[in-house]
A and B are shown apart, each in its own frame.
Chain A
Amino acid sequence: MTQGNEVAYPVVAGPEGILPPAATVMGVPLPEEGEGLVEGRIVSEQEALEDAAIALLTRKNATLFPGPLVLWGWNDHTNEKAKYFFDVANELPGIRIIPMPDYRPIYPKIDPEAVINPCHPNLTIWHNKIEACVFIGVHCHFANITLKMVRAGTNCYTIALCAEAGHEDAMCSVPNFDIEKLVRFRDAIIKVKKNGIKPLYEGKGIVPTGWAQISRLSGKTAEKPKDELLEAGVTGAFSHELETGLDDTAE
């Protein structure tokens, strides 16, 4: 795919309406290796990473949504990826981390401060007033259905860092997102800050959300994440701890 400025269909932060079309049906292509996709336009990978960094640093209540492929300790690669995920988080002042631990809808009521779910993602985004977010480690099917709903009903700027081919329905997406690209993303965040982008929440660390509540729901005592854990970006902070998951039948 050649790079260019033509946009078949602009994929921008919504709310776009009740049922926006899938961007690929409107002619938005997927990026090739070395490229990124920003608002329906093919750009270089570096440009996409920097645009994503600026959105996360400057928009309100930016949040990382790690999905099962980062969240759970499937294998050594997952654990390693989780470590580099925290390296990225540590460069984003005031960032929140709210996991997408699995894909089944949570009824009768989701705890929007604890989790995001692909069946009703906007409940989490609306509740937390999230205006920029990253989906990482989410299986492509569930990422895509989520991205369309978020674009339909919220003003959230969506970033999909995809281990496979990327996502047309995200405002910003980079394909084949492996550990090397996580490192490059961290470096891009450092670069844009050095170049003068002032973080909206400068001086703040990771805002404790998500895992503390999940911990409580899984029968453990809720506690504030230890500062040293956050600072160290401990490998697999989520791994092997939540086997029972959420009880979505609980009233």
Chain B
Amino acid sequence: MIHVLMSSDYLMLEAPREKEFITGSEAAKEAIRRANVDIAIAYPITPQSETMQQVGYLYAEGYIKDYYRGEEEIGVMSAVAGASRAGVRVLTATAGPGLMRGMEAIVSWPGARLPSVLLVMCRVVNTPLAIQPDNVEISYLLNAGGIVLHGENQQDFYDFPLAGFMTGEKPEVTLPVAVAVDGFFVTHARGWVNMPSEDLKLPPRNCYHEAVPMMDNENPPIRISRDAPIQKSNFISYQMHASWQQEIWAAQERAKKWLDRWLGGLIEIVNPKAKTMIVASGAAVSQSREAVRQGEEQGLDIGLIKVKSLRPFPGKELDEALDHADRIIVPEFNYIGWLSKEVKSAIKRSDRVVAGPRVFGGMTMPTELILETITGIKK
């Protein structure tokens, strides 16, 4: 196995790429192959299991130093914290109820400044139990403090994890990164993915150049702990905790620069001058692209903004890109409409936002549904 260390910029921006027709799980595997991951820990849950099975092959091939199945998601996410604390590059993945179970540990990562990548293959979380696509679980991640990216397709499921490792490990960021995709639509379907040679990989994590010291027992003084026991009932403790929380969200702001660099911006804009604009993330973007194309055939002038990063949220970018729009359509694969709420809170004249259409519980989103929302005409 030849594996050559390359700079982050070379791997993401400069290395020649070739196309392959692969599933989302295979695309994630190829990202991890090139990510120089030290340890991958997970507990199986549909539709994540196939991806972690693919990652297991990488362990067998020697691309990952350690790999194991945790006892369940709280154990997994706690082990991820331990690995990241020790200074190694760590990957995990989960879905739906698994994310809910691991959430207690996951929300502790940003404050502890623990870089890692969490792949989230979204599925139904509520009763009645189902394994079908529905991305309501992302709404629970939005306030956790970590970076949250939402991939549209197989290509994103290759690019976003790599960008996630590199961004999260920047000293001024030092945060965990969740890369979510809509389960099955992305994980189990095939698409074209442009990738550089599999002989290339990222430089290793440089844990001595991050925002907090590593728990390195071989370097004195080991008592330099990041876990300040500030649980005292006085103003000083409250203020310290408040300042600590502010710093987590400030670190997200600093991530924008790096996500811009490696993802080509926090948003992508199609047909920017259209008076009717669609704003979408995840698989809803693919459906919206097709709706834009079909609308064009019908003489409709429709634009599209793909939101790649949910945290940090591109509020300023959206406000500027939507300033001219008369109507803003926000199609989503969940009941509650978390993206439309985010968009409304970020832009001026939020009454322009049409919060839908929405499908959930595993339903697909016909492009006709998006066009009907735009035209108000049912076919």
Q: Which of the candidate stretches B81-89, B184-192, B245-253, B290-298 sits at the interface with the other chain?
A: B245-253
Q: Roughly how many angstroms separate A149 CA and B212 CA in the complex, as a whole number?
A: 18
Q: Mark B208-234, 1 if CB is under 8 A from A, else 0.
A: 011111000001110111101110100
| Chain A residues, CB < 8 A from B221 | 68, 72, 102, 242-243, 245
In Å, the complex CA distance between A118 and B228 comes to: 9
Instruction: Return chain A residues, CB-CB under 8 Å to B228.
Output: 103-105, 118-119
From A17-25, A55-63, A200-208, the one touching the partner chain is: A17-25
Q: List chain A residues, Cβ under 8 A from B239.
A: 18-19, 149, 152-153
Across the interface, do B243 and A149 meet the contact criterion of CB distance under 8 Å?
yes
Is A226 interfacial (CB 8 A cutoff)? no
**Alpha-carbon separation in the docked complex, A30 to B211 (Å):** 15
In the complex, which residues of chain B have a beta carbon less than 8 angstroms from the beta carbon of A168?
Answer: 250
Name A's B-contacting residues (CB within 8 A).
18-19, 21-25, 30, 68, 72-74, 102-105, 107, 118-120, 122-123, 139-142, 144-146, 148-149, 152-153, 163-166, 168, 242-243, 245
Residues of A within 8 A of B247 (CB): 22, 141, 144-145, 148
Q: Nearest chain-A residue to B244 (Cβ)?
A: A145
**Would you give the shortest CB distance from A161 to chain B, in whole angstroms?**
14
Contact of A164 among B209, B213, B242, B250 (CB under 8 A): B209
A139 CA to B225 CA in the complex, in Å? 11
| A residues near B219, Cβ cutoff 8 Å | 74
| Residues in A neighbouring B174, C-beta threshold 8 A | 140-141
Q: Report the Cα distance A25→B256, complex, angstroms.
A: 11
Main secondary structure of the interface of A (DSSP, over half): loop
B170 part of interface (Cβ distance < 8 Å) = yes
Residues of A within 8 A of B249 (CB): 22, 25
Q: A68-B221, A149-B240, A149-B243 are in contact. List 19 more A-B contacts (CB 8 A).
A: A25-B249, A68-B213, A72-B221, A74-B219, A103-B224, A104-B228, A107-B232, A139-B213, A140-B174, A140-B212, A141-B113, A141-B212, A141-B226, A142-B212, A145-B244, A145-B247, A146-B243, A152-B239, A243-B220
Q: Which of B92-146 contact A (CB under 8 A)?
A: 113
B172 to chain A, nearest CB (A): 4
Question: When the two chains form the complex, which single residue of A103, A122, A148 contacts B226, counting CB atoms closer than 8 Å?
Answer: A103
Residue of A with least CB distance to B113: A141
Evaluate contact between B236 and A119: CB separation under 8 angstroms: yes
Report which B residues bind A (CB closer than 8 A).
113, 170-172, 174, 209-213, 219-221, 223-226, 228-230, 232, 236-237, 239-240, 242-244, 246-247, 249-250, 253-254, 257
Q: Which residues of chain B have C-beta atoms less than 8 A from A30's C-beta?
A: 172, 254, 257
In Å, the complex CA distance between A166 and B224 comes to 22
Closest partner residue, chain A, to B216 (CB atom): A74
- Give the distance in Å from the alpha carbon of A23 to the alpha carbon of B212 in the complex: 20
Contact A68 B224 (CB under 8 A): yes
Task: Note all chain A residues with C-beta closer than 8 A to B209.
Answer: 163-164
Contacts of A165 on B, CB cut-off 8 Å? 170-172, 254
A88 to B249, CA, bound (A): 34
Please indicate the chain B residues that have their CB under 8 angstroms from the CB of A242 in the complex: 221
Instruction: Give the CA-CA distance A74 to B213 in the complex, in Å.
Output: 12
- The answer on a CB contact under 8 Å between A25 and B253 is yes
Q: Give every chain B residue within 8 A of A24 (Cβ-Cβ).
A: 250, 253-254
Which residue of the partner chain B has the closest CB to A145? B243
Does A19 contact B242, Cβ atoms closer than 8 Å? yes
Cα A229 to Cα B170 with chains together (Å): 38
Chain A nearest CB from B316 CB (Å) reads 9
Report whether A105 and B171 are in contact in the complex, using a CB–CB cutoff of 8 Å: no
Task: Say how far A169's CB is from chain B's closest CB, in angstroms.
Answer: 8
**Cα of A168 to Cα of B247 in the assembled complex, Å:** 11
- Contact present for B236 and A120 (CB under 8 Å): yes
Residue numbers in A under 8 Å from B230 (CB-CB): 105, 119
Least CB distance from A118 to B in Å reads 8
- Asked if residues B224 and A140 are in contact (CB atoms below 8 Å), the reply is no
Cα–Cα distance between A18 and B174 once the two chains are bound (Å): 26
Chain B residues, Cβ within 8 Å of A149: 239-240, 243
Contact in complex: A139, B212 (CB < 8 Å): yes
Q: Within the assembled complex, what's the spacing in Å between the Cα atoms of A120 and B229?
A: 12
Measured CA separation A168–B257 after assembly (Å): 15
**Residues of B with C-beta under 8 A to A105:** 228-230, 232, 237, 240
Q: How far is the CA of A78 from the CA of B210 in the complex (A)?
A: 16
CB-CB nearest in chain B for A21: B246
* Cβ 8 A contact of B240, one of A74, A102, A145: A145
Residues of B within 8 A of A141 (CB): 113, 174, 211-212, 226, 247
Q: Report the separation of the CA atoms of residues A166 and B171 in the bound assembly, to the nearest whole angstrom.
A: 10
CA distance A132 to B224 in the complex (A): 26
Inter-chain CA distance A105–B229, complex, in Å, is 7
CB-nearest residue of chain B to A246: B223
**Contact of B226 with A144 in the complex, beta carbons under 8 Å:** no
